[in-house]
Amino acid sequence: MDKEKAVEDVINVLKMQEDILQFTHFTNNDAWELGKLMVEEAKRKSLNVALQLRLTNGAILFQHLMDDTNLDNIFWMERKFNTVVRMEMSSLRLFTQLKNNGQTMEDKFLD
C-alpha cells in the first residue's frame, strides 16, 4: 500500500468516526459525568491534561485543568473549538487532509 493510499484510508476512518461517534442527546449532567470519567482515567494513567466539554453553541459544560497545565492550554482548546466549528470537521481530520495536500493550518488562516 502506498503512502498516499494509507493517508486517504486514515482520512476516511476519521470521517467515519465523526459520523458514528455522536450523541443522540447530551445534557449538562452527561457532560459532568463524562468529564469526571475522563479526569479519573487521566489520573489513573498519570497524564496531566486540560479538558473542556462544550456544546456546539460554545457553552462550556465541563472544564478541568490538571497540575502542570496553564493558560496556554485554555487558549489551545479555544483554537481547537474554533477550528472544528469553522471547518465542520475534527481538527485531526483537517490537519491530516491539509498535510496530505501539502497545506498547513496557516494556509486556512487557522494559525
pTM of the model: 0.82
Residue whose cell numbers read 502542570: 68
Q: Which residues of the chain have pLDDT under 50?
A: none
SS3 at position 33 = helix
- Per-residue model confidence (pLDDT) at position 111: 66
Q: What is the DSSP letter of 70?
A: -
- Per-residue model confidence (pLDDT) at position 16: 96
User: How far apart (Å, rounded) are the C-alpha atoms in residues 73 and 52?
Assistant: 10
Extract the C-alpha cell encoding 29.
449532567
Q: Is the alpha carbon torsion for 58, 61, 83, 80 positive or negative? A: positive
pLDDT digits (tens, 9 = 90+) for 69-98: 999 999 999 999 999 999 999 999 999 999
